Amino acid sequence: MGDTIRVLILAVVQGIAEFLPISSSGHLVIINEILKRLQGGDIPDEGMTLNIVLHVGTLGSIIVVYFRRLQRVLIEMDWRLCSAIVLASVPAAIVGIGFKDQLEPLFASPAVAGFGLLITASLLILGQRLQSGRFTDRQLPWPVAFVVGCFQAVALVPGISRSGSTISGGLLSGMERESAATFSFLIAIPAIGGAAFLDMLKFLKPGAIDAVKLPIPTLLMGMIVSFIVGIFALRLLIQLISRQRLHWFGYYCAGMGIAVLVWQGFEGKLLVKIGALGG
C-alpha cells in the first residue's frame, strides 16, 4: 500500500470523524496503526504533521458550512460572542503549547485512543441525557464559555472527540442543542488554525521542508479530500443533533474503545509470552 492510498484513506476518516463526534484523532491513530501493520511497518513517522494537515482541510469545511454565520458575526461585530470564542480558546492554547512534547507521543498509541473513546462515549451519553437548553450561543455567559473551552483542551488527547466533548460540555452547561453545536465549531476555527500555524512555523527553519517524510502534493491531496468529505459530514451532524441522536455515537465510541483496548491488551499478552519464550 503506497503513501498516497494511505493518506487518502486517512483523509476520508478525518473528514467523517472530525465532525461526527467519534474523535478524528483517535481514529487516525487506530487506522494508521492498522495500515502500518498491513504495510509491514514500513511507514514514515510524520508525528503530528499529517494529523494537522488533515485538520486544516476540515477547518475549511467549517468555514464553508458556517460562512453566513461567520459573516454575520463579523458584520454585526457581536463582541459578546467573539469574546466568548476567544475565552473558550484559551485552555486549549495553554495545554497545546505547554504540553506539546507530552501530547505528541500519545498520537502513536492505539491504547490511549481506546481509553479516549470510552471518555467520549460517557460525555455524549451524559450530555444527551442531562441537557437543559437554557440559553443560546449569543447569550452564553463567559464562565460557561471557559468551561466549554476546558472540554476542548481535554480533547487534545487522541480518542476524546473535540466536537463530542465541546458539544456535550455545552449541553451540560445549559446550552441549546443547535447553539452548542454552532459554538463547538466556531471555537474549532482558532483551535485548529492556531495549531496549524504553529506547525507551519517549523517549516521556516532551514532544511525543515526536506525533513517532511511525505511528499507535499500527497499532503495537499489529503487536505482537499478531508475538506470535501468534511462538508457532508458536518451537515449530517447538524441534522442528527436536531433529532437528539448524539447517544448513537456514544454507543459506537464505547464499542470501538472496548474493541481497541481488547486488541491492545491481547497483543500485549502475546508480546509478554514471546519475550518469556525468548528468555
Q: What is the pLDDT of residues 216-260, one digit of tens each?
A: 788 899 999 999 999 999 998 888 887 878 888 999 999 999 999
pLDDT of 276 > 70? The answer is no
What single letter denotes the amino acid at residue 1? M
- Joined together, the cell numbers standing for residue 158 give 487522541
- Range of 158's domain? 3-272
Specify the pTM: 0.82
Q: Look at residue 141 and tell me if it is in a domain.
A: yes
d(CA 217, CA 227): 15
Q: What average pLDDT does the chain have? A: 84
d(CA 109, CA 162): 18
d(CA 27, CA 25): 6
- The whole-number pLDDT of residue 116 equals 96
- The whole-number pLDDT of residue 29 equals 87
What's the chain's length in residues?
Answer: 279
Q: How confident is the model at residue 207 (pLDDT cuts 50, 70, 90)?
A: low
Percent of the chain scored above 90 by pLDDT?
40
- Joined together, the cell numbers standing for residue 169 give 460540555
Scan for cell 470510552, then name that residue.
Answer: 118
- Joined together, the cell numbers standing for residue 121 give 462515549
Q: Look at residue 152 and tell me if it is in a domain.
A: yes
Vertex 122: Cα angle to 120 and 123 (nearest 5) = 65
Cβ proximity of 118 and 254 under 8 Å: yes
Number of domains in the chain: 1
d(CA 148, CA 104): 23
- The whole-number pLDDT of residue 204 equals 64
Q: Look at residue 277 and tell me if it is in a domain.
A: no
Q: Look at residue 278 and tell me if it is in a domain.
A: no
pLDDT of 150 > 90? The answer is yes
What mean pLDDT is predicted for residues 176-204? 83
pLDDT of 41 > 90? The answer is no
What single letter denotes the amino acid at residue 240? L
What mean pLDDT is predicted for residues 48-70? 86
Tell me: the pLDDT tens digits for 110-133? 999 999 999 999 999 999 888 888
Q: Look at residue 62 and tell me if it is in a domain.
A: yes
Q: Look at residue 279 and tell me if it is in a domain.
A: no
Q: How confident is the model at residue 1 (pLDDT cuts 50, 70, 90)?
A: low
Q: In the beta sheet, which residues pair with residue 271? A: none
Q: How confident is the model at residue 273 (pLDDT cuts 50, 70, 90)?
A: very low
More confident call, 210 vs 145: 145
